[in-house]
Amino acid sequence: MAFEKMDIRDLYRCVSCGNCRSVCPVFEQTGRESKNTRGRILIIRGIYEGQLDDDSVFESINTCTTCGYCTEACPAGVDPPKLVETAREGWVKLGKMTPTQTKIRDTVARYSNTLGDDGDRLGWLKEAKNETGKTKEAGASGLKLELPKKQKAVYFVGCLDSYRYPKTALKTYRILNRLGVGLLEDEKCCGSPLLRLGFDDEFADSVKHNTEQIKMSGADTIIAGCAGCFNTLKNDYGFLGITVMTVSEYLLSHISELKDLMTAENSDIQKLDIPVTYHDSCHLGRHNRIYDEPRALIREIVGADNLKEMAACREKSRCCGGGGGVRSGYNELSLAMAKRRLEDVPKGVEYIITTCPLCLRNLSDAGGGIPVIDIVELLSMAMEK
């Protein structure tokens, strides 16, 4: 197995205390030692020492969602998700991978998205155009979309919003467009699924393409609509002089400007008197410590008293079960974790708000009965009231 990029010290820094075992969402569902962080580290260590046949432990490593809760709980400072990702990369370099890994790699290579959709990635935008070629009015606000010629910031839409949640993509861009935000001419998958599953070389191709697109745009700020895209663009692309922000961060920092623009249009952001709760996605929360900004934006919309916290939130938020390729490779396990997460929802709320389309999809599929919506959907409701 190839260990070139692995911090071998982490393999032996682990003292097998079991703190990670108590918070691992996969172990909570399976009860199997091989499917918790401590067990995975012992397995990777065994492979490194030549004591295990790596083919026999695929399932242990590939059922990890890389949620990072174990990192929070580790008193020794070990970063288990990084160990898991580099272990997967080592196997890939040896030609050893699961059918799910192979499928995702081949799908991104062929379609430039993880969904196998051969449609136009900007189809959601073209649907907003009329036959004259100009964009038609977007909702009650009367806003017309005009792509800026000189753009300081661009909206990175992501695969899921581009193809599965085009209405969210359009609503997001209708708002960002007011603030002069542009779009990449030829956005492709950010490569996060490739990186998380061990396909480092293929990920490098995604980085090269999207980096060239960003340079061509002339923008110095990227606004990511997907938590996974944000985490990857911010932490794995190696940008110099480029700021990467979430939609909630960007809108919160420009909320006064947005309100002024709406006042000029004889409209406003109306407070919604509805109780909601917020789900911290792993990629925004534990991986990037973004907890306050989404909550501050939600309070701008519904007021402080209407934001009800989940039983487990912020750094202790439970994973939705969708990440790390687990939704694709182990769907039943993934949905079991999503159902467990829904047990944390406080009673009486009308919506579960999230900033991650994968969380939205997995929590919705788990069937809790409470609508799961993107934070932009909530803002759009207030703007169109």
385 touches 274 (CB < 8 A): no
Mean pLDDT of 287-314: 97
Asked whether residue 77 falls in the same domain as residue 141, the answer is: no
Q: Residue 240 maps to which CATH number?
A: 3.40.50
Say what the pLDDT of residue 2 is.
63
Say what the pLDDT of residue 58 is.
84
Q: How confident is the model at residue 338 (pLDDT cuts 50, 70, 90)?
A: very high
Domain-located, residue 314: yes
Mean pLDDT of 330-352: 97
More confident position, 97 or 274: 274
Domain-located, residue 104: no
Asked whether residue 117 falls in the same domain as residue 248, the answer is: yes
For the cut 90, the answer to whether the pLDDT of residue 198 exceeds it is yes
Say what the pLDDT of residue 10 is.
85
Asked whether residue 267 falls in the same domain as residue 257, the answer is: no
Mean pLDDT of 344-370: 96
Asked whether residue 35 falls in the same domain as residue 174, the answer is: no
For the cut 70, the answer to whether the pLDDT of residue 89 exceeds it is yes
pLDDT, tens digit (0-9, with 9 covering 90-100), for 158-196: 999 999 999 999 999 999 999 999 999 999 999 999 999
- Considering 221, 242, 262, which residue would you say is the last residue of a domain? 262
pLDDT, tens digit (0-9, with 9 covering 90-100), for 40-77: 999 999 888 888 776 778 889 999 999 999 999 999 99
Asked whether residue 32 falls in the same domain as residue 66, the answer is: yes
Asked whether residue 134 falls in the same domain as residue 234, the answer is: yes
182 touches 153 (CB < 8 A): yes
Asked whether residue 207 falls in the same domain as residue 220, the answer is: yes
Asked whether residue 283 falls in the same domain as residue 297, the answer is: yes
pTM: 0.92
**Residue found by looking up tokens 């935000």 in the block:** 181
Tally of domains within the chain? 3
pLDDT, tens digit (0-9, with 9 covering 90-100), for 107-154: 999 999 999 999 999 999 987 654 334 444 333 333 467 778 778 999
Q: Residue 21 maps to which CATH number?
A: 1.10.1060.10
**Residue found by looking up tokens 């809760």 in the block:** 69
Domain-located, residue 103: no
Provide DSSP, 170-231. HHHHHHHHHTT-EE-TT----SHHHHHTT-HHHHHHHHHHHHHHHHHHT-SEEEESSHHHHH
Q: How confident is the model at residue 302 (pLDDT cuts 50, 70, 90)?
A: very high
pLDDT more than 90, % of the chain: 77
Identity of the residue numbered 229: C
- Considering 51, 66, 97, which residue would you say is the last residue of a domain? 97
Domain-located, residue 307: yes
Asked whether residue 257 falls in the same domain as residue 116, the answer is: yes
3-state SS class at 153: strand
Domain-located, residue 1: no
Say what the pLDDT of residue 144 is.
60
Q: Tell me the C-alpha to C-alpha distance, in Å, between residue 210 and each of 171, 190, 202, 207, 349.
A: 23, 7, 13, 5, 39
Asked whether residue 55 falls in the same domain as residue 157, the answer is: no
Q: Which of 97-101, 140-144, 316-320 has the highest mean pLDDT?
A: 316-320
62 touches 325 (CB < 8 A): yes
Domain-located, residue 51: yes
17: left (phi > 0), else alpha (psi -120 to 50), else beta?
Answer: alpha
- Considering 201, 235, 262, which residue would you say is the last residue of a domain? 262
Domain-located, residue 311: yes
Say what the pLDDT of residue 323 is.
93
Mean pLDDT of 204-221: 96
pLDDT, tens digit (0-9, with 9 covering 90-100), for 231-243: 999 999 999 889 9
322 touches 361 (CB < 8 A): yes
Say what the pLDDT of residue 385 is.
65
With a CB cutoff of 8 Å and minimum separation 6, the contacts of 338 are 320, 321, 322, 362, 363, 365, 366
How far apart, in whole angstroms, are the C-alpha atoms of residue 329 and residue 345?
26
Domain-located, residue 181: yes
Stretch among 140-154, 191-205, 254-268, 313-327 having the lowest mean pLDDT: 140-154
Asked whether residue 242 falls in the same domain as residue 168, the answer is: yes
Residue 133 is part of which domain span?
A: 110-262
Asked whether residue 156 falls in the same domain as residue 239, the answer is: yes
